[in-house]
Amino acid sequence: MRRIVIFFLGLILLFSSSCASNRSSRAIRKAERMMAKQEAQAEKDYEKALSTHYKHQAPKTKKMMREDRRRARRLNRHLRHY
């Protein structure tokens, strides 16, 4: 009788622990998906703001920035090893 009670208690604990861990891992995956979605949205918002910022620049400033990018590429060429 005592062995049967211990056996059933063990089974109940086994099933309850497996279900609880499954729920928590599901919740973690859901939270990770939501975080990834928010990060992607933040990246899109940042790119949009950057694009808007560049559009509002004066033509002379745009030209100067282009030249600076080219100059930086030439100066930093030796730093690239791929």
pLDDT tens per residue across span 12-33: 877 776 555 566 788 899 999 9
Average per-residue pLDDT for the chain: 86
49 or 82: which carries more pLDDT confidence? Answer: 49
d(CA 66, CA 49): 19
CA angle 41, 44, 45 (to 5 degrees): 85
For residue range 46-63, list pLDDT tens digits in order.
999 999 998 999 999 999
Write the DSSP assignment of 35-66 as a string of letters.
HHHHHHHHHHHHHHHHHHHHHTS-HHHHHHHH
Q: What is the predicted pLDDT for the residue at 78?
A: 80
